[in-house]
Structure 1
Amino acid sequence: MHEMSLMESVIDIACETARQNGATRVKSIRLDVGVLCHVDPHALLFCHEAVRHGTIAADAELEINRVAGQGWCLDCGKTVALQERFGACPDCGKYRVQMTAGDELKIRDMEVI
Protein backbone atom coordinates (compact mmCIF):
# COMPACT_ATOMS: atom_id res chain seq x y z
CA MET A 1 0.00 0.00 0.00
CA HIS A 2 1.91 3.05 -1.22
CA GLU A 3 -0.72 5.33 0.32
CA MET A 4 0.95 4.80 3.71
CA SER A 5 4.27 6.25 2.58
CA LEU A 6 2.48 9.03 0.72
CA MET A 7 0.53 10.01 3.83
CA GLU A 8 3.68 9.83 5.98
CA SER A 9 5.26 12.32 3.59
CA VAL A 10 2.19 14.59 3.67
CA ILE A 11 2.23 14.65 7.48
CA ASP A 12 6.00 15.27 7.54
CA ILE A 13 5.69 18.16 5.08
CA ALA A 14 2.74 19.68 6.94
CA CYS A 15 4.47 19.47 10.33
CA GLU A 16 7.77 20.83 9.05
CA THR A 17 6.06 23.71 7.22
CA ALA A 18 4.03 24.54 10.31
CA ARG A 19 7.16 24.60 12.51
CA GLN A 20 9.06 26.77 10.02
CA ASN A 21 6.24 29.29 10.23
CA GLY A 22 6.06 29.35 14.03
CA ALA A 23 2.95 27.22 14.39
CA THR A 24 2.56 24.63 17.12
CA ARG A 25 -0.36 22.68 15.70
CA VAL A 26 -1.73 21.63 12.32
CA LYS A 27 -5.50 21.98 12.41
CA SER A 28 -6.40 20.79 8.90
CA ILE A 29 -4.84 19.63 5.65
CA ARG A 30 -6.52 19.83 2.26
CA LEU A 31 -5.16 17.59 -0.52
CA ASP A 32 -5.81 17.60 -4.24
CA VAL A 33 -5.83 14.02 -5.53
CA GLY A 34 -6.25 13.41 -9.24
CA VAL A 35 -8.57 10.65 -10.35
CA LEU A 36 -5.84 9.35 -12.67
CA CYS A 37 -2.98 9.27 -10.14
CA HIS A 38 -3.62 5.71 -8.95
CA VAL A 39 -4.09 6.73 -5.31
CA ASP A 40 -7.10 5.49 -3.36
CA PRO A 41 -8.63 8.35 -1.33
CA HIS A 42 -10.16 5.91 1.16
CA ALA A 43 -6.75 4.37 1.78
CA LEU A 44 -5.28 7.86 2.28
CA LEU A 45 -7.91 8.59 4.92
CA PHE A 46 -7.18 5.28 6.66
CA CYS A 47 -3.43 5.95 6.59
CA HIS A 48 -3.98 9.50 7.86
CA GLU A 49 -5.56 8.04 10.99
CA ALA A 50 -2.55 5.79 11.49
CA VAL A 51 0.37 8.16 10.91
CA ARG A 52 -0.72 11.47 12.43
CA HIS A 53 -0.53 10.37 16.09
CA GLY A 54 2.41 11.71 18.04
CA THR A 55 2.88 14.69 15.71
CA ILE A 56 1.73 18.30 15.80
CA ALA A 57 -0.86 17.15 13.24
CA ALA A 58 -2.36 14.61 15.65
CA ASP A 59 -5.76 16.34 15.60
CA ALA A 60 -5.64 17.53 11.99
CA GLU A 61 -8.65 16.92 9.80
CA LEU A 62 -7.95 15.72 6.29
CA GLU A 63 -10.02 16.88 3.33
CA ILE A 64 -9.48 15.27 -0.05
CA ASN A 65 -10.54 17.11 -3.20
CA ARG A 66 -10.75 14.90 -6.28
CA VAL A 67 -9.39 16.48 -9.46
CA ALA A 68 -10.94 15.30 -12.73
CA GLY A 69 -8.80 14.05 -15.59
CA GLN A 70 -8.27 16.56 -18.37
CA GLY A 71 -6.07 16.84 -21.40
CA TRP A 72 -5.27 18.84 -24.50
CA CYS A 73 -5.83 17.08 -27.81
CA LEU A 74 -3.03 17.96 -30.22
CA ASP A 75 -5.11 16.88 -33.21
CA CYS A 76 -8.42 18.69 -32.66
CA GLY A 77 -7.00 21.45 -30.43
CA LYS A 78 -9.53 21.03 -27.64
CA THR A 79 -9.39 20.64 -23.90
CA VAL A 80 -11.12 17.33 -23.19
CA ALA A 81 -12.11 15.21 -20.21
CA LEU A 82 -9.95 12.11 -19.68
CA GLN A 83 -11.28 8.95 -18.09
CA GLU A 84 -7.98 7.06 -18.28
CA ARG A 85 -4.28 7.70 -18.76
CA PHE A 86 -3.20 7.59 -22.40
CA GLY A 87 -6.83 7.42 -23.50
CA ALA A 88 -8.16 8.59 -26.83
CA CYS A 89 -9.66 12.02 -27.33
CA PRO A 90 -13.40 11.67 -26.79
CA ASP A 91 -14.04 14.10 -29.69
CA CYS A 92 -11.75 12.92 -32.50
CA GLY A 93 -10.71 9.46 -31.25
CA LYS A 94 -6.99 10.02 -31.72
CA TYR A 95 -4.43 9.28 -29.02
CA ARG A 96 -2.31 12.44 -29.11
CA VAL A 97 -3.72 13.84 -25.88
CA GLN A 98 -1.43 15.59 -23.42
CA MET A 99 -2.67 15.19 -19.84
CA THR A 100 -3.08 18.56 -18.10
CA ALA A 101 -4.93 17.55 -14.92
CA GLY A 102 -5.92 14.49 -12.96
CA ASP A 103 -2.58 12.97 -12.01
CA GLU A 104 -1.66 15.34 -9.18
CA LEU A 105 -1.23 14.64 -5.49
CA LYS A 106 -0.47 17.86 -3.66
CA ILE A 107 -1.18 19.75 -0.50
CA ARG A 108 -3.55 22.52 -1.58
CA ASP A 109 -3.45 24.28 1.77
CA MET A 110 -3.44 23.72 5.49
CA GLU A 111 -4.58 25.51 8.59
CA VAL A 112 -2.20 25.91 11.50
CA ILE A 113 -2.28 27.59 14.91
Structure 2
Amino acid sequence: MHELSLCRSLVRQASRVAAEHGALIIRRICIRIGPLSGVEAALMREAFPQASRHTAAEGARLEMARCSVRVHCPHCRQEAEASVNDLSCPRCGHWQTRLTGGDELLLVSVDLADTTPHPIP
Protein backbone atom coordinates (compact mmCIF):
# COMPACT_ATOMS: atom_id res chain seq x y z
CA MET A 1 0.00 0.00 0.00
CA HIS A 2 1.80 3.12 -1.20
CA GLU A 3 -0.60 5.32 0.79
CA LEU A 4 1.40 4.49 3.93
CA SER A 5 4.60 5.85 2.39
CA LEU A 6 2.67 8.89 1.12
CA CYS A 7 1.34 9.50 4.63
CA ARG A 8 4.83 9.18 6.10
CA SER A 9 6.11 11.73 3.60
CA LEU A 10 3.18 14.00 4.40
CA VAL A 11 3.91 13.75 8.13
CA ARG A 12 7.59 14.57 7.51
CA GLN A 13 6.63 17.61 5.47
CA ALA A 14 4.13 18.79 8.10
CA SER A 15 6.71 18.18 10.85
CA ARG A 16 9.18 20.44 9.03
CA VAL A 17 6.52 23.16 8.92
CA ALA A 18 5.90 22.70 12.65
CA ALA A 19 9.63 22.88 13.43
CA GLU A 20 10.00 26.06 11.36
CA HIS A 21 7.29 27.69 13.46
CA GLY A 22 8.43 26.31 16.80
CA ALA A 23 5.28 24.25 17.29
CA LEU A 24 5.32 20.99 19.17
CA ILE A 25 1.96 19.62 18.07
CA ILE A 26 0.22 19.29 14.72
CA ARG A 27 -3.55 19.38 15.18
CA ARG A 28 -4.72 19.07 11.60
CA ILE A 29 -3.28 18.40 8.15
CA CYS A 30 -5.32 19.37 5.09
CA ILE A 31 -4.55 17.93 1.68
CA ARG A 32 -6.08 18.11 -1.80
CA ILE A 33 -6.34 14.93 -3.86
CA GLY A 34 -7.09 14.72 -7.56
CA PRO A 35 -8.90 11.75 -9.06
CA LEU A 36 -5.93 11.05 -11.37
CA SER A 37 -3.36 11.08 -8.55
CA GLY A 38 -3.52 7.33 -7.99
CA VAL A 39 -4.27 7.90 -4.30
CA GLU A 40 -7.13 6.14 -2.53
CA ALA A 41 -8.59 8.47 0.09
CA ALA A 42 -9.89 5.59 2.23
CA LEU A 43 -6.44 4.00 2.34
CA MET A 44 -4.86 7.36 3.24
CA ARG A 45 -7.29 7.68 6.12
CA GLU A 46 -6.39 4.18 7.34
CA ALA A 47 -2.62 4.69 6.96
CA PHE A 48 -2.41 8.11 8.59
CA PRO A 49 -2.60 7.01 12.26
CA GLN A 50 0.25 4.53 11.75
CA ALA A 51 2.36 7.03 9.79
CA SER A 52 1.90 9.73 12.42
CA ARG A 53 2.56 7.53 15.46
CA HIS A 54 5.30 8.94 17.74
CA THR A 55 5.49 12.19 15.75
CA ALA A 56 4.22 15.73 16.28
CA ALA A 57 1.23 14.72 14.14
CA GLU A 58 0.10 11.85 16.36
CA GLY A 59 -3.60 12.37 17.04
CA ALA A 60 -3.90 15.00 14.30
CA ARG A 61 -6.92 15.09 12.05
CA LEU A 62 -6.32 14.42 8.35
CA GLU A 63 -8.71 16.37 6.14
CA MET A 64 -8.90 15.55 2.47
CA ALA A 65 -10.54 17.66 -0.21
CA ARG A 66 -11.17 16.29 -3.65
CA CYS A 67 -10.54 18.38 -6.72
CA SER A 68 -11.78 17.96 -10.25
CA VAL A 69 -10.00 17.07 -13.46
CA ARG A 70 -9.29 20.22 -15.46
CA VAL A 71 -7.97 20.60 -18.99
CA HIS A 72 -6.84 23.49 -21.15
CA CYS A 73 -7.83 23.38 -24.80
CA PRO A 74 -5.44 24.99 -27.27
CA HIS A 75 -8.17 25.00 -29.93
CA CYS A 76 -10.77 27.13 -28.12
CA ARG A 77 -8.30 28.51 -25.56
CA GLN A 78 -10.55 27.62 -22.66
CA GLU A 79 -9.96 25.76 -19.41
CA ALA A 80 -12.74 23.47 -18.30
CA GLU A 81 -13.63 20.61 -16.04
CA ALA A 82 -13.34 17.23 -17.75
CA SER A 83 -14.26 13.71 -16.78
CA VAL A 84 -11.71 11.19 -15.56
CA ASN A 85 -12.16 8.95 -18.59
CA ASP A 86 -12.51 11.65 -21.24
CA LEU A 87 -9.93 14.44 -21.33
CA SER A 88 -11.25 16.00 -24.52
CA CYS A 89 -12.48 19.57 -24.32
CA PRO A 90 -16.06 19.59 -23.03
CA ARG A 91 -16.70 22.90 -24.81
CA CYS A 92 -15.50 22.23 -28.37
CA GLY A 93 -14.72 18.50 -28.36
CA HIS A 94 -11.05 18.92 -29.34
CA TRP A 95 -9.04 15.91 -28.17
CA GLN A 96 -5.58 17.47 -27.82
CA THR A 97 -5.95 19.08 -24.44
CA ARG A 98 -3.40 19.69 -21.69
CA LEU A 99 -4.12 18.47 -18.18
CA THR A 100 -4.05 21.39 -15.72
CA GLY A 101 -5.54 19.76 -12.63
CA GLY A 102 -6.74 16.54 -11.16
CA ASP A 103 -3.48 14.63 -10.81
CA GLU A 104 -2.27 16.40 -7.68
CA LEU A 105 -1.68 15.40 -4.09
CA LEU A 106 -1.02 18.71 -2.34
CA LEU A 107 -0.43 19.74 1.24
CA VAL A 108 -2.82 22.65 1.63
CA SER A 109 -2.41 23.61 5.28
CA VAL A 110 -1.09 22.49 8.65
CA ASP A 111 -2.73 23.61 11.90
CA LEU A 112 -0.20 23.85 14.70
CA ALA A 113 -0.25 24.17 18.49
CA ASP A 114 2.45 25.58 20.70
CA THR A 115 2.32 23.89 24.08
CA THR A 116 5.48 25.40 25.53
CA PRO A 117 4.86 27.44 28.67
CA HIS A 118 5.23 31.17 28.10
CA PRO A 119 6.92 33.24 30.81
CA ILE A 120 4.65 35.60 32.68
CA PRO A 121 5.95 39.17 32.43
User: Is the CA contact 1:36–1:85 (under 8 Å) kept in the aligned structure 2?
Assistant: no
- Structure 1 ranges of 4+ moved more than 3 A: none
Provide the C-alpha distance between the structure 1 equivalents of 2:103 and 2:54, rounded to a whole number of angstroms: 30
Q: Which runs of 5 or more residues in structure 2 are unaligned?
A: 114-121
CA distance in 1, matches of 2:101, 2:112: 28
| CA RMSD across the alignment | 1.5
Partner Cα distance (2:99, 2:24) in 1: 38
Question: 1:99: which partner in 2?
Answer: 99
Residue in 2 aligned with 1:33?
A: 33
Rounded Cα–Cα distance in structure 1 between residues aligned with 2:84 and 2:65: 18
Matched positions, count: 113
For residues 36 and 55 of structure 1, what CA distance do their matches in structure 2 show? 29
Aligned-pair distance for 1:51? 1.0
Percentage of matched positions with identical amino acids: 27
Structure with max Cα Rg? 2
2:69 is matched with 69
**TM-score when scaled to structure 1?**
0.91
Aligned to 1:53: 53
Q: Secondary structure at the match of 2:111?
A: strand
